[in-house]
Amino acid sequence: MMSVNFEELSKLVIDGDTDAIKSAVKNAINDGADPLEIVDKGLAKGIRTVGEKYGKGEIFLTELLMGAEAMKAGMEIINPEIQKQKKELKKVGTVVIGTVSGDIHDLGKNIVTALFSAHGFDVTDLGVDVPNEKFIDKLKELKPDILGLSALMTSTITKQRDIINTLKETGLRDKVKVMVGGAAVNEDFVREIGADGYAENANDAVIKAKDLLK
């Protein structure tokens, strides 16, 4: 296996170089790199740097957008590769997942979704900007084992709390395990809102989910 330059992959995301990222990701895969490693050490590292720079006012929104486009282009090649790694063929559980209303960040959620399904979970992805009622309606309809709520902003993680409260009010709380995630979420918040699980990355999400279903 040839050595993969993860640093270069990060840099291409930071530069927002969509064309170059596609070929670089394809090359990395052909060289035998693990798709998740390409994400963790390369693409996600790059987009987080972009976010930090944007947060500090060092770059403009256009550059944040270009970085996100580059990351997305890379993920379009990686997500099918993650699927190919299907580790377990038997169904291990069902998941309904989505990004909460007011929030359109989905790069991380899509990675979690891809890995869940690669590990034998049956996943229904409701997409982004999902109204609270839609989550509740889908829970009633599909009765999944796990509800996954992604939120990336301090202004939208409150929806995770609201949804859990609605579950309590409607008597559905003990029928489903609620997992939350996204960069603005931390262990303290998870405890505070009474979610069942939290994960900082897709790998942990799968491990926690399997734990919750034991």
Does the protein bind ligand B12 through residue 183 (CB under 6 A)? yes
Does the protein bind ligand B12 through residue 212 (CB under 6 A)? no
Binding ligand B12 (rule: CB under 6 A), the pick from 64, 126, 136, 142 is 64
Please name every residue paired with 198 in a beta bridge, in sequence order, or none if there are none: 180
SS (H, E, C) 27-53: HHHHCCCCHHHHHHHHHHHHHHHHHHH
The region of 8-16, 25-33, 40-48, 163-171 touching ligand B12 under the rule CB under 6 A is 40-48
Does the protein bind ligand B12 through residue 154 (CB under 6 A)? yes
CA distances from 114 to 21, 31, 117 (A): 20, 21, 5
d(CA 130, CA 178): 16
Does the protein bind ligand B12 through residue 181 (CB under 6 A)? yes
The nearest distance, CB 23 to ligand B12, in angstroms, is: 21
Map the footprint of ligand B12 across residues 8-37, applying CB under 6 A: none
Does the protein bind ligand B12 through residue 79 (CB under 6 A)? no
Binding ligand B12 (rule: CB under 6 A), the pick from 81, 106, 125, 196 is 106
Does the protein bind ligand B12 through residue 104 (CB under 6 A)? yes
Q: Pick between residue 2 and residue 60 the one whose CB is nearest to ligand B12.
A: 60
CB contact set of 95 (below 8 Å; sequence gap of 6+): 116, 121, 122, 123, 124, 144, 145, 146, 147, 148, 209
Among candidates 59, 20, 18, 25, which has minimal Cα distance to 42?
25
Binding ligand B12 (rule: CB under 6 A), the pick from 20, 29, 107, 126 is 107
Binding ligand B12 (rule: CB under 6 A), the pick from 6, 148, 163, 193 is 148
Conformation bin of residue 25: beta by default, left when phi > 0, alpha when psi is -120 to 50: alpha
Does the protein bind ligand B12 through residue 94 (CB under 6 A)? no
The nearest distance, CB 66 to ligand B12, in angstroms, is: 9
Please name every residue paired with 100 in a beta bridge, in sequence order, or none if there are none: 130
Binding residues for ligand B12, rule: CB under 6 A, are 44, 47-48, 50-51, 54-55, 61, 64-65, 68, 72, 102-109, 111-112, 148-150, 152-155, 179-184, 199-202, 205
